[in-house]
Amino acid sequence: MKKKKTSRMIAVCMAAVLLIGSVGCSSAEEGARASVPGGSEQASSLSTDGAQNEKPADQNDQIVIAGYRDPGRGTKDPYYTNVNLYVWEPLIGETDQGEPEPRLATSWDRNEDATVWTFHLREGVQFSDGVPFNADAVLKNFERYRNMGVVSSTFFAFDVDAVYPGLQSVEKEDDYTVRLTFENPIPTLPYTMINFGCGMFSPECYDPQTGEFKEYCVGTGPFVISEHVPDEYITLERNEKYYGDPAKAASIKIRIIPDHETRIAALRSGEIMGVYDNNAILPQSAKELGEAGGFVVSSALSANIQYLNVNNQNFPFNDVRMRRAMSMIIDRDTLLNDIYCGYGKTTVNVLSPMSVFYQDIQPEYNPEAAKALAAEVLQGQTPTVRLLTASTYKTDAELISYWLGELGLNVQIQVLDSAAVSAALKERDFDLSMGFKGMNNAEPETMLRGFLHTDGFMNNGFAMSGYHNEEVDALLDQLKDTYDEEERAALFNQLQKIGAEELPVIPLIAVTTLVVHSDQVTGYDAKFTGITLPEVAWVS
């Protein structure tokens, strides 16, 4: 990365101050940062001394927290809740390092060519409604998968053919052993199954034909849903039938408070004990609360990346030189430190650093080269372009528009609600937009295909538009018939390199899960997704 000149940094910082006011991430004392140096995957936390509020006397008192969106999406959603509510469990979970780990399947093995996979199930488990978890329940869940086919979700859409391509049969070997047979080798099956690809639900809680839930989802996790008022709150109760260590809290209520300032006010007043979910708190607010005392900040690298989405069909973004110029003019270090308070990791790779196949390709910062490239493309023109953003990313957008202005672009920022931004993307009615995307699963092909293939879902109205590269399409199509793990990894590396060079979408920051909670509760640690909810409890 090219060394920045002091004068340049002063100019940028002055512009940032004018644009974003007193954000105040950078200070002489950064005690409340709780950053993740170099993108460390280990959660970090910090508490500051402050006045202690009176502690509740009854450990069974309900703990109330809040997020900006409803974590329970209703009966038509294939999962009903996000996995990080710990109501349902998958056959295969995910470690904090992005590796598959046993959950309801204690182990698995495959034949030599990876066409037959055998899963050994956890014994002594029952769903919270008392139905036994065993091979029969797994078979019924796979029947549900097939009946559902493709179902949209606010979490991750479910597509049985994408998770289990060429699945020929699901058979019971014994009460705790299930065998899956495929038409072609599937060497990375556990990576596609992780979490949302293999959620297990009581066969009594859904319609066997449609897969829709009759009321709430019923799983094997440490919590059960006791009440849900959509877009207001969802109440979780301890699952007394849970096979593992019981949840520490008897009851947790998650309120939905869409407005950021209202959430922070509720946290300050003690109306809620913590904020929950991605984007639940802005970094500068987390820093302020950490410094105020009485609160704890916790963060962990997530699977989410913030992108600058690009309409590759529109001038001047249909020229790769302009996209490279944009990437080189954006000072990601300043963005990370001044907007994100150091929480996260700069990146130029479309693939999340949470993937075990991630290549750490360093972003290049070179304003002089960027201006030269842009001049070649613009030829003296000063095109007006629209940058769409939800209010969450308004500050980011202002800083980025300043940098893009140095290339000769007249950037007009339009702040819309999230639904309006999504609608504009689907209609391809945009030039640029601020975006945020996580990994559907741990299989890199899903994200690489989505962003880079001509027919990829992110390339057709979800993030960007119009990117086409025949070499990339051929490499992605080659993955369908590449079954050797080392050969697949080599293809993943090629695709990541091309993505970083061609930049059909411009990755900016691999962000963290960032949460803040009152020091009246404990066990409230950030994970790569959600928090350690079963460990949350009142301080004794």
What integer pLDDT is reported at residue 54 of this predicted model?
53
- Distant-in-sequence contacts of 73-76, Cβ < 8 A, 24+ apart: 73/153, 73/154, 73/155, 74/230, 75/212, 75/213, 75/214, 75/215, 76/151, 76/212
Residue range 48-104, pLDDT digits in tens: 333 344 555 477 899 999 998 899 888 999 999 999 999 999 999 998 888 899 999
Terminal CA-CA length for the chain: 50
Q: Which CATH architecture has domain 301-512?
A: Roll (3.10)
Q: Which fold has domain 85-200?
A: D-Maltodextrin-Binding Protein; domain 2 (3.40.190)
What integer pLDDT is reported at residue 250 of this predicted model?
97
Domain spans of the chain, in order of start: 85-200, 301-512
CA dihedral 420, 423, 424, 428 (to 10 degrees): 170
What integer pLDDT is reported at residue 154 of this predicted model?
74
What integer pLDDT is reported at residue 17 of this predicted model?
39
Residue type, position 270, single letter: G
What integer pLDDT is reported at residue 392 of this predicted model?
78
Residue type, position 455, single letter: D
Is the pTM higher than 0.85? The answer reads no
What integer pLDDT is reported at residue 360 of this predicted model?
94
Residues of the chain falling short of pLDDT 70 = 1-57, 439-440
What integer pLDDT is reported at residue 24 of this predicted model?
52
Cis peptide bond upstream of 100, omega within 30: no
What integer pLDDT is reported at residue 301 of this predicted model?
87
